[in-house]
Each structure stands twice: as structure tokens, then as C-alpha cells.
Chains A and B, each alone.
Chain A
Amino acid sequence: MHGQKRSEYKSRLLNPEAASKLATKAQQWNALSHELLSQRKRLITPLNADAKPPSPKMLLTLTEKMLTVNPDPSHLWNIRREMLLHLLEKESSQFDVQPELSLTAHCLQRNPKAYSSWFHRKWSIAYMLSRGKTENQSNVLQSELDLCAQFLMLDERNFHCWNYRRFVVALLGSMAAKESAEINEIVTNNTAAAANLPSESYSGDWSSWMDLLSEDSTSKEILMGAQIVSDSTPKNLTSSLSKEKLNELIVSEWNFTSSKIQDNFSNGSAFHYRSKLISIVLEARLASDDETLDNAARLLRKQEKILSMAREEWEEILLNAIFTEPDDQTPWWYHRFIVAWAKPSLDLRDELGDSYNELVEDYESLLYEMADSLRELLEVEKENGLEGDAAERDESKGVKCKWAYLGLHLVLFSLFKLQRVDATELLCEAQECLDALIAIDPCRSERYKMLAAELSA
């Protein structure tokens, strides 16, 4: 429907043949809809005890057919879930996830951005796990990853699909976490999270998994909300992932985002997923390290790794992306994340002592590099092929490169906050950025004024 004028879309009704076809379809749909709702009512609240209640299976088939034609109405999916539960309750049969998966797959092919289809798929998977169907759980999840890859090949910016992918990976991760928790009681130092496991681990909730994996509080800041709420409690779990498999999974997910970004870096979802993954990838890379290190050395090692990963992200991806298309905002958001993520936490100062200063120095040099490149970018953007008069040049450069100014401001302000050098020059340049922003982006001038106030505070 996107990019289509309403008048064009409506104009097909002018063709009497097409219009009558559509009218027939609408009639059929209404009749079915009515039938479905009334049957469902009779099933849930039987008026007359003598009459034969409608068959839930019939209702299931009806919803299936209607959803095949139009996957959007969520009440149809609700009825479907109701009927599924109804059947399971009455007949205590096994929940078969396959029909749900193929139905949703079909619906998603029709409309890859239907919220309700994706939700139903999540529900089906989560329900399957909660019923503790013993075989093939990780195989099913693995094939879900393949499905996501296919959908993302068709549209690499389908955020529904990225969300779903994170949900599946979180489930796989939870399995691994559960297993290692059973063996070692704790995966990490975070005992509280491990204790929480039974009720939380199969919700496909990214944050509960993150709790398991992360040692410190920094990752808490970047947690995302729950993917799905389910009151299901896991039962007999046989299939699971080993720690090595988990690391493999994480690395392959990380590479997956890389390849999607290489295909098209204007992809907020991929960058977002990357920001979620980066801390876990860090852990995975550290895991291979020498165990003999003491706590302080390990912390230092981790901080160094953070900085080197941040530098890698900047040089390999961000630098190329912002120079290719500085008006694309997605890399700039990721840049903000990286600048914040790489910053050595103040809490570490006491534990690390002198080496803390070295860390900050490293971070500072990364920021200086960023500032240099951004200045260069602004320089190129201001270039103009015209030998024309100054007024003409100013006019043409006016609207450009808002994000580069914002990025430079961020970098300068971060440098300023390190409070290591004489700040006046930095503040001065940051102020210039804000002034330029107020000039070229007057709609958000109040925001820039607020940032300016921060500078002078």
C-alpha cells in the first residue's frame, strides 16, 4: 500500500468488473465473519442445552480460511487461540505447533508486517515450549532462525522480523543458560538471576537472559523490554545448548547483523540488534581467556576489549557509513551508542588504579579520532563546486549535515566530560556546532539551546 495514491488505489473500483468481484468478496467475508462470531458465542455460552454445540474444530478451520485471506484482524487470531486452548483442555491432546507455524508463515508471506501474525507465531512457539513437548525444540527454534533469515532477505528492514529473531535467539539462549545453571548453579556472579530461572527463562525475554549473562550493572542500562509475556512454566526440558554452542550462536548472530548492514546500512533494526549483542559477544570473546587472571586484571582486560571493539565498529562500519551517506540517521544512532558504551565506568577507578587512567587515555584518543574525521566530513560537505558568489554557496550548504554537527557535538561533549584537558577550546567548538544546528535546523532549536545550557553549566 505504501507509495500508492489513494485515488489510484480507489480507481480500480471504477472498473465495474473489478468492483463486482470485490463486492462479492466483501459479502462472503461478512457472511463468514457473522457466522464465525455467532458460532463462537454458542460454543462459549450455550443457551440451549439440547442443541448440539458447534465444533471447535470447525471454528479453527474457519479462522484458518479467513486468516489466509486477511491476516490482520486480531480478533480472529484470538478466537483461534481460544479454540486451540479449548480443544487442548477438553481432549487433553498434544499441542501441535506445526499447523500454527505453517498458517502464520502463509499469512506472513501475504503481509510480512502483520502484528497479529507475528504475535501468534510467538505465542505458538512459547506455548509449545511451555507444554514441554520433548523433542526437537531447538530444531524448531533453529528453523525459525532460517525463516527469519528468509524474511530478512526479502526485506532487511522488517523490524517485526528482527524482533521475532531476537525472541527466538533469547529462547535458545535461555535454554543454554538453564542448562549451565543446572550444572553450575550459577552461570555468572549473578546468583539472583539464576535463582529466578524457572519462572523466567522461557519467556523469550531478552532482559532476563541478559541478567544471566552479564556480570555488572552497565548492561542493565541497555536492556530492552519484554518480548512477550507468558505465564507458562517450563517443564521437562531435554534439548539444550552447550556453552560452546551458545557462543557459536552469538557469533553467528553478530555476523548476521554485519552482513545485513553490509547489504544496506540504512537499517535501524540491525544496528539495534547489534547494540544488544555487542556486550554478549564481548563476553563470548573474553570467555576464551585465561582463567588464572585475578579480578582486577580481568576487569582491565574487559575494558581494553570494549575499547578495541568500539574502535573496530567505528573504523569498519561507522566511518564508512557516515561518509557514504551522512544524512542517514541510523549509523548516527549507533555512533551515539558506541560512544556511550566504550566509556570506562567511573566505578572502575578504585578497582583499577593507575591502569584506569590508561583506559581513559585510550578512550580519549578514540574520541579525538572521531572528532578529526567528523571535522573532515563537515569540510567536504561544505565544499562546493561552484565558483559562484558566497551567498549562493551558503544557501546550498545550509541544510546539510545536521547529523555530523550533532555527532561532533556529542564527541566534544564527551571529551569535555572526561575533564582531562583544558576545556575552553572543546566547549567553544561544541558551541559552534550547536549554533550551526540552530541555524540549519530551526525546528529543533529549543533542543539545541538546552544542549548549549548543558555546556555552560
Chain B
Amino acid sequence: MAEPTESSTDEYDVIICGTDLIQSILSSALSRAGKKVLHCDGNEWYGGFDAVLYTGSTLDCFIEGCQDAAAAAAVRKSVSGFNKDYTESDADDGELELLPREKYADLRLHSQTFLPCDEQHTVHLPPAKESHELFENKEVESARIKEDTDLLADAPEQSTTTQHKDVSDQCILDGNFSLDISPDLIYASGDAVQGLVKSGVADYLEFKSLKGLHLLMGKDDTKKQRHTTRGSKNTESNESTSTSADDTFISYRVPCSKGDVFRSQLLSPVDKRRLMKFLQLISDYGLAQDEAGSNNDAETVDEETAPADDTLQTKEHPETVAAESASEDAMYSINERYLNKGRSLSRPQNKAKPSTSELDSLIRCIRDNVDFSDYLINVAKLPPRLCSVVIHALALAPFGRSQLDHAYTAMNGVNDLLRHVSALGRFGDTAFLIPMYGSGELSQAFCRSGAVYGSTYMLRRAPLSISLTVDGDGNSTVKSVTLSGEEHIGGFADVHTDDTSKKDVGCSHVIVPSTMLPRKLLACTSIRLRIYRRISILKGSLMSQQDNQDSEDTEQRYAVVIPPATHGLNNASAVHGIILDDSAFVAPARKGYTVLHLTTSVLESGECSVDTCLDILSKSAQLVLDSQCSNEDRAKECHHISFSYSIDIVKPSDAQPIASGLHICYRDTQSITCDYAFREAKRIFEQICPEADFLALAKKVEDSIVYKNNNDSDDERMVLSNALDMIQDGVGGVLKPVETVADDVVGSVQGELANAMLDESISAEEENIVEVQKTDKIVE
């Protein structure tokens, strides 16, 4: 693989722009399928918007990059005319220009306290707003990026409250943090786990279980509900307590499994019954679907092959058909067969056959595209409060009833629920796994495995434009991608940057994220959503041990959901929080820091201003703190950063593709899991390689793994032989204790095996890595 040069006639099968998770999965999958892949990213680091940034190194670059963006854009404008209107400038040779690096997804930094801002930058920054000053520390509201398109331009001028001398008063971070731009969890069973295991990429990563999923809700109406169910004799005494409706928020553990429902303080007994009935109905539906799927694969299109975004509905609903054709046997055999799969929702063995009529009505609603919340209220007869729990805490939908242009249908809701419910009881107490060292590790791991299979990686080389050829009928086809010369974004001055010339690299497919394309191209087929994120570094433990008997265990690995339209927040979408500490290796060990990620989103076309959203996030941070901490050992925020970026959501439409060979990948709506990336990657993979197996292992690697699994050390036989030998020798005396013998045998066998495996994989990797190194763009 020679280094592509300007004059090179080198053709790649696929050029992938950006190393976000979707693209990284794709580069691994495509190179496995034998495609020649060039993967480029303008950043210094892997991961794009899924990257994990490190304080003191890449985070600083990120922040400086954002701060420089406005200035840089201006420079570019004069130099290369980049900021001209993004259109297909020249119809003849079909040049599709991509957004310059700092404009991808319209990333904006709103505030941060990691870097002291210097004079130069503050000049063109609007002053910080007082309302953001939340906690005791003096925030340095420094960088607020001013761009020509900046909404902030209209924001009223505020009095300057922050002074530069405060920089010295900040708490100094003692240690490095790994901060995800998009923190993601993964479902303990589902598309992501399937992909990670099948591809062998899981070997590069480590995971821990999420300890709890919590729902932050007002206290008032739960109490009322609980007491109405009490016996008539005690009503008088309880009334006094139920009247105190106040605004205090309580974080409840989200009741997902049978055990959760049983323990939950959130639900009255009657609600428990209703929720359990509903959850079992959903899992029945899932089972019936599985059953139908395995009976006749041909006519079933299950979730994996369905469009990645559930909003991409086809006219038919294959799943519905499948569920209806599910044999009654499936319903009969549910109890026995699935008992071993975790006892999260399965019925007791003695339970009679479940009724099929409720399942029928669910299937009918799915077929009729009923709105999910309508279904919950009118058909499943859940009380409103429970509906909110189901939609936001169980299905984890960020929006409630149809707040986007598209509806949240019963089918979307049930699929989301099924993903959650079917991942329960696999590992730990929740349905989620946390990638250690930050979820940005995922894209790095996939890039690494892509390199093993022969992909070429180029960092610091941003794709600038895509060239198209246009035939006589006006159909355009992808011809090549122009890459920028090597550049770097702050820091890392020691990196060699001798190759500064632009390059044109030929290819037959290009994969590009929607957010890299000029907005105009996608305006009619997608909805633009803006994701707001605030990352806070807290000193102290955030979540208290309310439902864990083991008081020693103070590890912080939680997720929090604040439903939309929460009183006092008026948030348009749910606020999702992920809370991690050094147990997930995102904070320095034993220093007592907790990292809180808060995310919310708004429609870009909507009314919500930037300030409103930032306000929602800072209030949410306050709420999360208040709901957990007693006053004495309260966690304190010492640093934060807030930024926002845009994503596109595909609207169902039958618009023509822009060019053949051009594949646009879309991020999911606001979500706390990254399972969508695997579905989206698979969708695009199947367009490029319709026949091939997604993320398949190479034969060589597969063989060595089968070898690993098959070799069961037969210690039983060894013990027996040992005993026989003993009799033959007539030695009645001292022998090695049995267990040690067995252990020794097992140990040595495993040791050998491990060595063999290690040799295998190293040699396989070395080959390819050496090759990649030649191209001088090496994966760290």
C-alpha cells in the first residue's frame, strides 16, 4: 500500500470521512469484507464526535480548536475561498464541497473552565452570563464562540461578571480525565454487543456494568397515589402526609425488571401490577417475534435489517406480519424455555398460558401506526405518570408525544422497549454496559481492528471535497475525494507536518456523515436537531447509596433521566445524565472525582434559544446534585465545559440519492446508548457489500478462537488416572492434594493456550500494522 500522492493513480474501494463510531465500525467491516479502505479524519485524534478527549492534551486542542474556529474560518475565507456558499459549485465536473473541519456539525463551545482564556480570545467573545454561575467556584465563562452565523449575536448584552484574576482561584485538577464528547452506554445484549463479539473487537475493550438507571421526578403525586390504595381504615391518618406537595425531586430507580418493580418506591401496588402486565406483554411480543423470525427467516425482517432509524418506515411492517404468524407454541413454551435467560421478566413456571388478546391488540396498534403514548393511555390503560416512566425511562425516548415532525409510533416505542428489556438480566443490575476509559475507546478499537485487516488511516487530513462524474442522463457517480494537506490543531508541534499538499484520491464509494455535508443538500430529507451537552467534573461522590446494601461500594456508575417538561425546567426533550468516576477509569484514581455528563436536545427550527438550553443543563446539574447529596458531604462542581452540535434525523421520504457511491450516515437522536451506530453501519455496509457478512472474523482468527473454546481441559480424567496410578504403585502415603493436581493441569493447559493465542494474534496484527506504518499514518 503506497502512500497516496497527488499524482497517484491509487484507487480505493471506499474512502471514509471522519472517524466517528459509525464510520469506524464501517471501516473495520468493509476491510474485513475485502474492500480497500482509506479512512481519513482532519483531527489529531480518533473518534470525531465520539472521541474521548484527555484533559491536558486533546481536550485542550479541542477547546483551542473551537476557539480558533471563528478566526480560522476568516483566514480560510481569504485564502481558499472556503466560506463561499456551499453548493455544487460546478455542475460540469460535479464538485461536492464538504464543510471545513471546524464547521462539521456546527460545533459550538459555549463555556468552559479548563483553559484560562487569554486576552486575545476574549476580545470577540460575548461576556459570560450571570445565571450560569452555579456553584461556589468562580467559573471562568470564557469561550463563547462568535461566528458569522452565531445565534448569540442577537443575545442581549450582559454585564461582565468574570474577571481574569479568577483563573488563579480555580481548583486545579490533580490528574487527567477522559471526557467523552458523546458518552454512550451499550445494551448488555443487542446490536452493539453482537457486533463487538462477532468481530472480536470486544477483546480490545473492557466493560463494567452500570449500577443504576435513575429517574428524577417530582415527589408530590407519587405520595398521593400510594395512599389512595390503602385500606379505607387508614385513610384519615395518611391524608396529612399526602397534602404536602412540594417541588423536591427524588431520584427513583427505574423499575425495569421484576425485582426492580417489586422494590420500587415510585409505584403504588396497583401501578406495579399494571407495569408488570405491560412489560410482560412487551416481552411476549419480543418472544413471539423471535419465534417467528427463527421459523421463517425468509419473510422476516427483524430489527437488524430494518432501517437503522426507526423513523424510516416502509409501507409494510414485516415485524407485524411475523408476530401474527407466530405459532401459539411460542406462547405456551415461554415459561420453561426462557427461564435461564435471566429471570428479569419471565413468569413463574406455574403460570397459566398468557392471554393472547392483549398481544393481538398491541399488534393491531403497531400495524395501524398508533402513537405510542396514545397506545399506552388508551389501550394499555396505564395512568399518565406511568406512561411518562415507560416512554422516557424504559423506552428512553428523549421526546414525548410527537414533538418532532415525525411521530413516535407504537412500533418505535415497542422496539425501543424491547431493546432495553431484552438486555436486562444479562450482566449486572441494569441493562447497560459502560466501556471503560470512555466510550470513545469503541471507535478507536474498531479503527484498530480495521488496521489489522488492512485499512489505511490518515489523521490530520480532512476531506475537503468529493468529485463526481456526471453522465449524459445527469446521474452523478463518485469519482474521488480531495484531502487536505497535513495540518494540526494546536499542540503537538513536534509532529512532522511536511506533507502539506492537497491530494486527490480516487475511489468508488465515499462514506460521509450527514453533518459534513452542506446543509442545503439534506434540508428536505432530514430534520436538524441540536444536541447540548454539559460535562461537569465534581469533587466528591454524587449518587448516594439508597438501594444498595453494600455501603462500602461507593463506585459511581449511574445514568439519570429527567423527563421532558419537568416542572421548573421546561425542557423540550428529556435530560440524560451519565455519572462516572474512577471505577470506569475516566477520572484519576482515588482522587474522589465524579464526572457528570448531561445532555439535552432541541429542534434547530424550534424556538429554544441557546441560553435556554444552557440554563436547562445547569439547572439539571443542580437538580441531580440536590436529589442526592445531603448538605455535609455534598459534591462540588469544580470544572465544566458545555458545547453543542447538530445532528440530522432522516425524515421518511423517497428523495433521490445525491450521487451513486455516496453514502451518508446519520447519527441517532439524543440517546444514552450507541447501539444505533451498529445498525446504521450495517445499513450502509449492506449497500456496499450486499452479499458479505457484517463484521465477520477472518478464517484464521476464527479458527484460533474455536480452538480456544473447544479445548476443555479434562481434569476429571486426570484425577481418575492419578487415582489408578496410585493403586498400581501401591502408594498409600502422601499424595498431592486432589485440587492442586487439577488446578495445576488446568493452569498449564490454559497457559499454553494463552501463549498460542497471543502468538497468533500478534503475528496477524504485526503483518498489517507494519504495512500501515509504511504509509506513515499510524494508529496509536
Contacts and interface: CB of A to CB of B under 8 A. Distances in A.
B347 A320 contact: no
Given A28-B717, A373-B269, A395-B357, A380 B352 contact: no
B358 A386 contact: yes
Given A266-B348, A365-B233, A32 B724 contact: yes
Interface string A405-430: 00000000000000000000000000
Interface stretch (B155-163, B319-327, B336-344): B336-344
Given A264-B259, A320-B272, A372 B232 contact: yes
B273 A323 contact: yes
A54 B731 CA distance: 11
Interface in A25-63: 25, 28-29, 31-32, 35, 54-55, 57-58, 61-62
A28 B234 contact: no
Contacts of B720: 25, 28-29, 32, 65-66, 69
A314 B735 CA distance: 57
B151 interface: no
A28 B721 contact: yes
Given A57-B732, A388-B357, A21 B233 contact: no
A319 B261 CA distance: 12
A327 B262 contact: no
B270 A21 contact: no
B719 A368 contact: no
A329 B348 contact: yes
Contact of B231 (A61, A323, A326, A373): A373
A444 B720 CA distance: 51
B613 to A, nearest CB: 38
A299 B276 CA distance: 42
Nearest to B348: A328
A162 interface: no
B230 interface: yes
B338 to A, nearest CB: 10
Given A372-B231, A388-B357, A259 B549 contact: yes
Given A32-B724, A327-B351, A385 B269 contact: no
Contacts of A114: none
A3 B336 contact: yes
B263 interface: yes
A25 B348 contact: no
B738 A400 contact: no
Interface string A1-42: 001000000000000000001001100110110010000000
Contacts of A55: 732
A264 B733 CA distance: 48
A77 B32 CA distance: 56
A393 interface: yes
Contacts of B263: 262, 320
A69 B717 CA distance: 8
A319 B272 CA distance: 10
A405 to B, nearest CB: 13
Contacts of A142: none
B52 to A, nearest CB: 34
B348 A385 contact: no
B365 to A, nearest CB: 10
B97 to A, nearest CB: 54
Interface string A377-388: 100110111101
A105 B258 CA distance: 32
A66 B348 CA distance: 37
A32 B273 contact: no
B357 A325 contact: no
A220 interface: no
Interface in A121-155: none
A263 interface: yes
A61 B734 CA distance: 9
Contact of A399 (B272, B340, B353, B357): B353
Nearest to A366: B231
A436 to B, nearest CB: 14
B337 to A, nearest CB: 8
Contact of B355 (A263, A377, A396): A396
Q: Which of A25, A29, A329, A385 has the most CB of B within 10 A?
A: A385
A369 B233 contact: yes
Contacts of A69: 716, 719-720
Interface in B714-731: 714, 716-717, 719-724, 726-727
Nearest to B352: A399
Contacts of A385: 358, 361, 379-381
Interface in A60-104: 61-62, 64-66, 68-69, 102
Contacts of A376: 229, 269-270
Contacts, number: 153
Interface string A350-388: 000000000000000100110011001100110111101
Contacts of B269: 319-320, 323, 373, 376-377
Contacts of A321: 262
A69 B549 CA distance: 37
B273 A324 contact: yes
Interface in B247-292: 258-259, 261-263, 269-270, 272-274, 276-277
A152 to B, nearest CB: 14
A294 interface: no
Q: Which of A68, A326, A386 has the most CB of B within 10 A?
A: A68
A380 B386 CA distance: 15
B742 interface: yes
A325 B269 CA distance: 11
A61 B716 CA distance: 15
Interface string B345-380: 001101111011110110000000000000000011
A263 B738 contact: no
A290 interface: no
B339 to A, nearest CB: 7
B231 A68 contact: no
A377 B276 CA distance: 13
B358 A384 contact: yes
Contacts of B343: 264, 266
B329 interface: no
B739 interface: yes
Contact of A62 (B232, B357, B714, B723): B723
A215 B343 CA distance: 42
B523 to A, nearest CB: 41
A106 interface: yes
Contact of B719 (A65, A329, A381): A65
A287 B259 CA distance: 34
B644 to A, nearest CB: 41
Interface in B726-753: 726-727, 732-733, 735, 738-739, 742
Nearest to A103: B738
A325 B258 contact: yes
Given A259-B549, A386-B361, A388-B357, A324 B261 contact: yes
A324 B381 contact: no
Interface string A316-338: 00011101111111000000000
Contacts of A368: 231-233
A209 interface: no
A271 interface: no
Interface of B: 229-234, 258-259, 261-263, 269-270, 272-274, 276-277, 336-337, 339-340, 343, 347-348, 350-353, 355-358, 360-361, 379-381, 549, 714, 716-717, 719-724, 726-727, 732-733, 735, 738-739, 742
27 contacts: A24-B717, A25-B717, A28-B717, A65-B722, A66-B720, A66-B723, A68-B738, A68-B739, A262-B259, A320-B262, A320-B263, A320-B269, A324-B272, A324-B273, A325-B258, A326-B273, A327-B352, A368-B231, A369-B230, A372-B231, A372-B232, A380-B277, A384-B355, A386-B360, A388-B357, A392-B357, A395-B357
Given A320-B272, A321-B262, A325-B347, 8 more contacts: A66-B723, A106-B738, A263-B259, A320-B263, A323-B270, A365-B231, A373-B269, A385-B379
> Across chains A and B, which 6 residue pairs bring their CB atoms closest together, nearest first?
A369-B231, A58-B732, A396-B355, A399-B352, A323-B269, A28-B720
